[in-house]
Chain A
Amino acid sequence: MEDLKYFEILAKKKELSKQNSSSPLKFMILSNITVNQLTDIAEYYLLTKGVNVVFDTGNYDNIVQDIQNLQNIDGIIIFWEAANIINGLHYKINLFSDKEYTQILEKVKSEIDLILPKLENIPTVIFNEFSSLLFNSFFRKKNKFDQLCDDLNNYLIEKLPKSVVKTDLNKIIAQVSVEKSHNSRDYISSKVLYSVDFLKAYTQFITPVIMSSVGKIKKALIFDCDNTLWKGVVGEDGFEGINMSENDKQGKPFNEVQNLATELSKHGVIIGLCSKNNPEDVDNVIQNHSDMILNDKYITIKKVNWKNKAENLREIATDLNLGIDSLVFVDDSDFEINLIKEQVPEITTVQVPKKLHIYPAEIRKKFSLFFKNVITEEDKRKTEMYANQVKRKTALAKAGNFEDYLKSLEMFVTVFINDKTKVARIAQMTQKTNQFNLTTKRYTESQILNFVENPIYNIFAVSVADKFGDNGITGLAIIKNNNDFAEIDTFLMSCRIIGRNIEFKFLEFIIDKTECEIIKSTYIKTKKNAQTENFFEKSGFILDNKNDDTKFYILQKQNIQKQSLDYIEISYGK
């Protein structure tokens, strides 16, 4: 986008919005400056990522009032510019007495207090931190304007709910430069503080937040080995001939990349290998090479063989129950990168640059693809849980008969009902689960908390364990109890536990616990949930009505078709 001129962005946006027929998310930009150019730029850029968002701007310098009036909004962006808290504050403040300084600080703090309760109910809130950089970069000493921004930012740290995503504008200004970020001519005439260049960079900086809120994030980072994780070719140069030492200029970039991959793994990104090599050579390096950082603890899946890499990557997606478009693949070879681009264009590819010193930066740039607004306990344990899944698949290959295999897993399902401690994970599941999700309704933490506290709703969260390990909270049902019937508002399972009949056991369980005799449910079709299309039919629900994308079902409680799933134990947790 950096290379596109503003006219081109407008023209291309028009084209893209014709092609994208999905119903748009509604975002509002609230500001005390003029940022209306951001709407076109951000709408265009998100459309290129397949996300349809319509941005509206609030009234000029009306942040507090505008927030009070918001309804049915998917997200807001807040540009609260310190320089324009009052006209010309960035230079006037340095003449202020201490008393005047305190007055202005307290005024803004009290305004922040006014908007806080509202922020919790908005699914996505992007709040720009206060910045003095555009005006103060030439001053060696901190002045009162810097101090005000620091004080306000500390207040934000103290007060903002953790669902609010703070954005450090200084990082964006650093990318663009102070001079090119600041539109001084239009700021004086019309309060347009930022240049188009800044707004382009800003859009790119906040895009991961919006992608995360719609569940469009990458989940796995797959590396080739030779000249990707280490310098050299293990099959030719041998164990001693490859290099990934932090004390050697050849090896250092690879050492850094391995550290970066390990860091991602610790945040729940799945790390895998896809390499043409003898598996024992690669295993020997991973287990025994003293410079190897990215060890087996962090690597979930390995496809080390002589097969076509497109095929291997497809298998990786299948083995992990991930969409193919959630993979990022790193390789040094033109041939392999082009093969993947051609055969599996859904996969994002990264080619190891010829200038090795920029390789770590190329990987750092990709971190935003994996960005998650909130990281839960389950995320931190994800590597381990996915590794167990790969073991299960291997066990399946050995067991042969699928039923026998499921019995051998010794599955145990624990159900938590209306459990406040699970709210963050529950909200996250509604936001991220795409494949096994019957209605794909997205909820925020505060919405889930409301459900938990509202007696009309019952929230069932399940945690699944088996002899290979505990998967954590991986399934959810939200039941709304109306007067004469109960309604399944949400029913979803994380992709790493589906295909084991737990979904049927769970559905039987919640229907059993429902007091109403009539249960209604819906299936809402999306691009990703085709596998659940006939889920309710299989359990005995009767199709009551349907339109293009939605099927409505009804069930008399006693007519549920139970499957013989005695090998799954299920009970309430404490």
Chain B
Amino acid sequence: MAAVFETEISNITDDASPDTIENWDSLRLINLVAALEDEFNIEFEEEEIVEMLNFKLVALLVAEKIK
């Protein structure tokens, strides 16, 4: 996730969000989704992508999918 947003891993806290990470914009979010789908062989619904508001929510969504 740090790689997608070109930031330090230490910046990726549970609360990390577009407000705390400079490069977290809508385009990079698409890149993050592509990377996660690729990595875990999962597929997100449009509604789920809209819910990816901070790192914790992203992690929960992924955890849900790979269960």
Contact = CB atoms under 8 A, between A and B. Distances in A.
Interface size class of A (residues with CB under 8 A): 10 to 19
Interface residues of A, dominant DSSP: helix
A34 interface: yes
Contacts of A195: 34
Contacts of B10: none
B46 A190 contact: no
B27 A36 contact: yes
B30 A186 contact: yes
A6 B30 contact: no
A54 to B, nearest CB: 13
B3 A10 contact: yes
A192 B3 CA distance: 20
A7 B27 contact: no
Contacts, number: 41
Interface of A: 5-7, 10-11, 14, 34, 36-37, 40, 185-186, 188-190, 192, 195-196
Contact of A190 (B26, B35, B38): B26
B34 A196 contact: yes
A441 B23 CA distance: 36
Contact of A6 (B26, B27, B38, B46): B38
Interface of B: 3-4, 26-27, 30-31, 33-35, 38-39, 46, 49
Contact of B35 (A7, A14, A192): A7
A14 B31 contact: no
B35 to A, nearest CB: 4
Given A7-B35, A185-B46, A190 B30 contact: yes
Contact of B31 (A11, A37, A185): A37
Given A10-B4, A190-B30, A192-B30, 8 more contacts: A5-B35, A5-B38, A14-B3, A36-B30, A37-B34, A40-B31, A186-B30, A196-B38
Nearest to B4: A10
A37 B35 CA distance: 10
B7 to A, nearest CB: 12
Contacts of A40: 31
B46 A5 contact: no
Contacts of A7: 3-4, 35, 38-39
